[in-house]
Amino acid sequence: MLKALKVVLIADGVVLCVLGAALFALPRTMWMAFGFEGLPDMVNYVLGMWGALLATMGVGYFIASQDPARSHGWVWVGIARGILEGGVSAFYIATHVVTFKQGGLGLVLAVWFALAYIVFYPRRSAVPGAEAG
């Protein structure tokens, strides 16, 4: 279980770092890639700040992956983040504020990561150190 949790932490870190770096380095390209058009330039500031947040969260997940057994807080944040992001994405897609093309990737990734963290999170009955590696 801990090996799988480590993989999930690393994968989440990669997604967050790549998306974050793209958002703060290429905000206009990113909002155009997700199908948003005609946004004012001031939106680039918000996307840049969001990108910085995502990238630093990604670094945190990389650090947490070094010792998943002691990184319960990061796992709980990943679960909460996935549930909240999934809920927000679903709400805005369902109310036609955004299309599935615009919000679907966020919805799918959020739900996938939340479920992966829940499935691979070590239960209290697990004995620390019982799993090699």
Tell me the angle at which helices 72-94 and 2-25 cross, rounded to the nearest 10 degrees: 60
The better pLDDT of the pair 82, 130 is held by 82
* Other CB atoms within 10 A of residue 55 CB: 21
Write the pLDDT tens digit of every residue in 14-57.
999 999 999 999 999 998 898 888 899 999 999 999 999 999 99
Q: Give the CA distances from residue 94 to residues 88, 102, 107, in Å, rounded to whole numbers and listed in that order.
A: 10, 12, 12
Domain ranges in the chain?
2-120
Q: Calculate ∠ Cα 86-60-22, nearest 5°.
A: 65
**pTM confidence score:** 0.85
Write the pLDDT tens digit of every residue in 52-110.
999 999 999 999 999 998 899 999 999 999 999 999 999 999 999 999 999 999 999 99
